[in-house]
Structure 1
Amino acid sequence: MRHFLSRFTSDNGDGTYRNPVLRADWSDPDAIRVGGDFYLVASSFHRVPGLPILHSRDLVNWTIIGHALDRLVPEADFRTPQRGGGVWAPALRHHAGRYWIVYPDPDRGLFTTSAEDPAGEWTTPHLLKGGKGLIDPCPLWASDGSAYLVHGWAKSRAGVNNRLTVHRMSEDATALLDAGEVVIDGDELPGYRTLEGPKFYERDGWYWIFAPAGGVTDGWQSAFRSRDPFGPYEERIVLEQGDTDINGPHQGAWVTTQDGDDWFLHFQDKGVFGRVVHLQPMRWNDDGWPVIGDNGQPVTLHPKPVQGQPPAAPAASDDFTTGIGPQWAWQANPEPDWAATDPAGLTLTCVPTDDPDLRHLPNLLGQRLPDGGCRAETTMRLDDAAPGTTAGLAVVGDDYACIGLARTNDTTTVTCRTASGGEPPRDNGSPLPIKDATAVIVGVEVDATGRCQFFAHLPGETPQPVGEPFQATEGRWVGAALGLFATGHGTATFDAVRITATDTHA
């Protein structure tokens, strides 16, 4: 599969990097090192496949190597988009020669899956603890052979939050061995709210829980330590915005390089672009507490942890020559006939629907909208399209807009549509008639604020703006998606989707 060169890498090419290191919605990251390789997993919510796995050799340059979940279960529940549900913040660990992910579905419970190869096949998810509102689990295999699990609570499902619970766990991560104890109650800590996202570690006789609080947009990162996994725990804030413009710096992973240097990966909520990932240096002070970033504030520019690796970034553009790239995901469990690829590109089957709202469309094929501004375009056409068929390129969050082709009774048109709030979609600008089966280039330019201008043109002609500018919005716990869709009867063919960064720091 060939991917077009883009400028989404944060590697400056001179031994330094610029945050964020992942410039899109890789939400709730957790990461580990195995030998000289780093692996990262992120939440995926309703998107399928779920639990994306990324790989790096230097914590700066990342590529997507696969997913741990091919489909979401129960199958019937995820036949339609469960926006805001599905797979929340996971934890990734390496133990006994296997890679382990424990992840929450806030409506069903905590699940485990494992693999010998993180880029290979993962086991069928196993329900470790059932119940509503159980979130943000993280296992710990301690040096004495014991095993534990910490998790948080979602008030929307459980009625409580702002507290962390620890369980004893079987060594094979198939069962929890007790009812669990609340080891940290945020209600008892002055100023704390929404304590969540814990990660469990052990170092020099101390048990550590790294956990954020204060909310994703304006919170902070705390560290808690105890000589016993069940506490009592001491607390300290170790990373906060301070006088930087990096809001809500929290929820991530402590990773140590082969040379023994410590680093911390965390996210920053960027609204329409989701939760982008930053990398901070980390050291230990004389009192044995971690100091993250520049004395507890995030850094923007810094020398790379490991030198000598070439620039890289998760794929965005795709020519579909050998399949659909791992950057893409459906809004629900897909059917096998929704899509096909060949050397000419991607063919989407136009699926009949009674609901034209793209937010409710299972067969929307999307990817994360890059932070900082981008231009996306593709050449498309409709074939054997019946009246009422539409297909095209969309930007989808709580609001959405799209550009594409629509077939009416007697003509095919280039059309731009938008939908805001709970209102049905409406035309944005006047449809432009074209000849049937004509290939048309459609695209969108997105600026650094998420403001979108759609355009279209015939091959060889000058791009023309279509419709009024549209302000993209985030979705439910996720950033906006850049997607392809096809509804009605017939097929829609897309050649390469070309996505390039447009800001100066891409």
Structure 2
Amino acid sequence: MNVKIFIPSLVFTLLFFNVFGQQTEKWGDQGNGTYINPVIPADFSDLDAIRVGNDFYAISSTMQYSPGMAVLHSRDLVNWKIISHVVNDLTQISPNLNWSKMDSYGKGVWAGSIRYYKHKFWVYFGTPDDGFFMSTATNPAGPWTPLHQVWKVSGWDDCCSFCDEDGQLYFIATNFENDPKNNKKYNIHLFRMTSDGKNLLMESDRIIHQSPGSEANKLFRINGYYYHLFSEVKPEGRVLMMKRSKNIVGPWEMRQLNHVNKTSDKEPNQGGLIQLVNGKWYFFTHHGSGDWEGRAASLLPVTWLEGWPVIGEPGEDGIGSMVWNAPKPINIPNVEKGMQTNDDFHSSVLQPQWEWNYQPRNDKWSLSERKGFLRLHAYAPVNPTGGNMLLKAGNTITQRSLRTTSNEVTIKMEIKGMCNGGYAGLTHFSTSGTSCIGIKQVNNSRYFTYISHNRDSVGPAVRNNTVWLRSTWDFQGINRYFYSLDGKLFLPFGGENQLVWGSYRGDRVGIFNFNLEQECGFVDIDFFHYRYSK
């Protein structure tokens, strides 16, 4: 018997997205009062977020990229822009994050917290090897105060500051190296801090929780309760947990806040719990199971049940699950959609979407030597050993690759300043795999070259002083390269590449210039144009 079943379109959409996850055609603001997750389909990992007045601010970890710890702003929790970075000089953290070392992939600036109290924004974060740091700002767009090291220690992560109603400052963090025999059980510690927030009162140290993989700590005070939000690893995956108490040192009650599916929803966990002016609540989070785009950012509605926040769609057990689309929290007319990408290099400072691979040599790049261009000077990689040369090559400037239906990046590059041994071009960059298209100069001759899987393919000779290089990729992360000598006719070069992530970071698209033979040569980048589907 054939039975026709009619499902209302909205119900079908909700069912479809909850079963199959992110779709190729849709993400972010839909322009009709709804949004689809992820709201940012790119690598904004280890998120925390707050509301101050009618504005929302978030931070995202950056590992070895400089400047470090991205700061984002939104008016509606769906459309976000990068407005600054907290750390201008990564060598304030460690010399290993400098261009002269380049040996800290997967390390550097890890998760942190952003809070607003005492008329300032406070950011705390940790690194696995160097301990905890803090900075403040009266304007989240900067400037941020020079980094202050709160505690030099290793084996700790995922910290958060908290200002109680009486002005007492607290600090919470995870020690993930507490037991050499069982590194899965992490200890979560609570400290009081000095009134300036720069030092921990070590005598106040107490462990308030221990469980497998417990981290992603946040502290709140809501309706007379202290709430400790964190994540931990259960058989289903990494889930959100919460403890609450009338006293900040306990005793605590505890509940699970969401269910996860590693495959379909990619484990949303690390993030910020936010109350709107109208009283509604949301959770801005990353997806912990990264794909080639990294750990993308989603916005989940929050429902309070019996004094507990349920993350996502509440189930019969009172625990939430992933929500892929929902009404927008706030509708703002004519809001600008999408993230910053394009740059014509007319500004005197780099636009905030750019991050260098490690702390750059500031005397080897310039926006002023030739107005309207980014000049990159070439120098030798650090201890090159073959293989993925870009892992040790300075002057690689990058931004996040978006996971959208269609993506196209084009750069216009002038190469008359190159020297023998020089190599400059366009790259997709990851510690798990790098591909490039560019120009090499050997024996006073230049030619196009394409590298994939550490194999170099030689292309046609280049006699022009100006070239255009292009990368395209799709929702699955399949990339192709093209080149042009006139900016109109683009010819393919090389095969298809699968974009990948590595060392907790998603794929980056970037521009590079280095020289294997001598410290000599430069290229001028006229523009970086990135078109993507919204």
Compute the TM-score of the two structures, normalised by the length of structure 1: 0.90
Q: Is residue 154 of structure 2 the alignment partner of residue 135 of structure 1?
A: no
Counterpart contact for 1:218–1:247, Cα < 8 Å:
no
| d(CA) in 1 for partners of 2:179, 2:67 | 24
Q: After TM superposition, list the pairs within 5 Å mapping 1:289-304 onto structure 2.
A: 289-295=308-314, 296-304=320-328
- Partner residue, 2:506: 479
1:395 aligns with 2:428: yes
Deviation at 1:316, TM superposition (A): 1.2
Structure 1: which 5+ residue stretches go unaligned? Answer: 1-6, 187-192, 420-424
Q: Which of 65, 69, 75 is 1:57 aligned to?
A: 75
Q: Unaligned regions of 5+ residues in structure 2, if any?
A: 1-24, 315-319
Distance 2:414 2:27 in 1: 32
1:493 counterpart residue number: 524
Question: How does 1:428-467 map onto structure 2 within 5 Å?
Answer: 429-437=457-465, 439-467=466-494
1:418 aligns with 2:452: yes
Q: State the 1:216 CA deviation.
A: 13
Return the alpha-carbon distance in structure 2 between the equivalents of residues 274 and 318 of structure 1. 23
Q: Equivalences for 1:292-371 in 2 at 5 Å?
A: 292-295=311-314, 296-309=320-333, 310-322=335-347, 323-341=349-367, 342-353=370-381, 355=384, 357-371=389-403
Residue of structure 1 in register with 2:21 after alignment: none
- Where does 1:158-169 land on structure 2 (aligned, <5 Å)? 160=183, 161-169=185-193
Moved more, 332-341 or 117-126: 332-341
Deviation at 1:206, TM superposition (A): 1.3
Q: How many Å separate the matches in 2 of 1:213 and 1:432?
A: 54
Separation in structure 2 between the aligned mates of residue 77 and residue 460 of structure 1, nearest angstrom: 40
Counterpart AA for 2:506: G
Contact 2:26 2:36 in 1 (8 A): no
Alignment of 1:258-277 (within 5 A): 258-268=277-287, 269-277=289-297
Aligned-pair distance for 1:157? 11
Between stretches 406-415 and 8-17, larger displacement belongs to 8-17
- 2: CA distance, partners of 1:211 / 1:33: 20
Contact kept in structure 1, 2:65 and 2:358, CA below 8 Å:
yes
Letter in 1 for 2:122: W
Please say if residues 169 and 194 of structure 2, whose CA atoms lie closer than 8 Å, have aligned partners that are also in contact: yes
Shift of 1:241: 2.7
SS in structure 1 at match of 2:255 = strand
Q: Secondary structure at the match of 1:236?
A: strand
Q: Does the CA contact (< 8 Å) of 2:292 and 2:501 recur in 1? A: yes
Structure 1 residues 215 and 497 mapped into 2: Cα distance closer, same or farther (>3 Å)? farther
Quote the residue 1:25 is aligned against.
43
- 1:183 deviates by 0.7
Structure 1 residue 103 displacement after superposition: 0.6
- Could you say if the C-alpha distance between residues 210 and 448 of structure 1 is closer, same or farther in structure 2, counting changes exceeding 3 Å? same
Q: Alpha-carbon deviation of 1:215?
A: 8.6
- In structure 1, C-alpha distance between the alignment counterparts of 2:447 and 2:198, rounded to whole Å: 56
Greater displacement, 337-346 / 16-25: 337-346
> How far 1:451 moved relative to its partner?
2.0
What is the CA–CA distance in structure 2 between the aligned matches of 1:169 and 1:252, rounded to whole Å?
23
When the two chains are superposed, the root-mean-square deviation of aligned CA atoms in Å is 2.3
The 2-side partners of 1:156 and 1:459 are apart by 60
The equivalent residue for 2:31 is: 13
CA distance in 1, matches of 2:69, 2:249: 29
Q: Is the Cα–Cα contact under 8 Å of residues 134 and 151 in structure 1 kept in the other structure?
A: yes
Equivalent pair of 1:165/1:182 in contact (CA under 8 Å): yes
CA-to-partner distance for each residue in 1:176-208, whole Å, 9 max, x for gaps?
12341111111xxxxxx3111111111122111
Change (3 A) 1:306 1:364: same
Mapped partners of 2:235, 2:392: distance in 1? 26
Distance verdict in 2 for CA 1:65–1:102, change over 3 Å: same
- Is the contact made by 2:357 and 2:394 (CA closer than 8 Å) also made in structure 1? yes
* 1:393-434 Cα shifts (integer Å, max 9, x gaps): 101112101001111114211110124xxxxx321x432212
| 2:490 is aligned with 1:470 | no
Map of 1:94-109 to 2, 5 A cutoff? 94-109=116-131
3-state DSSP of counterpart to 1:337: helix
For 1:331, give the aligned amino acid.
N
Q: Matched residues in 1 for 2:26 and 2:89: separation?
A: 28
The 2-side partners of 1:350 and 1:389 are apart by 7
How many residues are matched? 483
Residue pair 1:9, 1:61 contacting (<8 A) in 2 also:
no
Which residue is 1:4 aligned to? none
Q: Quick check: 199-208 or 212-221, which moved more?
A: 212-221
1:497 aligned counterpart, secondary structure: strand
- C-alpha distance in structure 1 between counterparts of 2:528 and 2:228, whole Å: 42
Give me the whole-angstrom Cα distance separating, in 1, the residues matched to 2:268 and 2:307.
Answer: 22
Match 1:35 to one of 40, 48, 53:
53
1:183 maps to 2:208: yes
Deviation at 1:227, TM superposition (A): 2.0
**Structure 2 residue aligned with 1:377:** 410
The answer (yes or no) to whether the contact 1:48–1:71 under 8 Å persists in 2 is: yes
Decide whether the 8 Å contact of 2:403 with 2:474 is kept in 1: no
Cα pair 1:27 1:42 within 8 Å, conserved: yes
Deviations 1:148-194 (A, max 9, x none): 111012349988452311112223212212341111111xxxxxx31
Distance 2:94 2:206 in 1: 33
- Give the Cα separation in 1 of the matches to 2:132 and 2:294: 24
Following the alignment from structure 1 to structure 2, what is the Cα–Cα distance between the partners of residues 52 and 137?
16
Confirm or deny: 8 A CA contact 2:161 2:169 kept in the other structure. Answer: yes
Match of 1:284 in 2: 304
With over 3 angstroms needed to count, the CA separation of the structure-2 counterparts of 1:216 and 1:100, relative to structure 1, is farther
The letter of the residue matching 1:150 is I
Identity of aligned residues (%): 29
Name the aligned partner's letter for residue 173 of structure 1: G
Contact 2:93 2:130 in 1 (8 A): no
Change (3 A) 1:216 1:97: farther
Aligned equivalents of 1:137, 1:461: Cα separation in 2: 51
Aligned counterpart, 1:237: 256
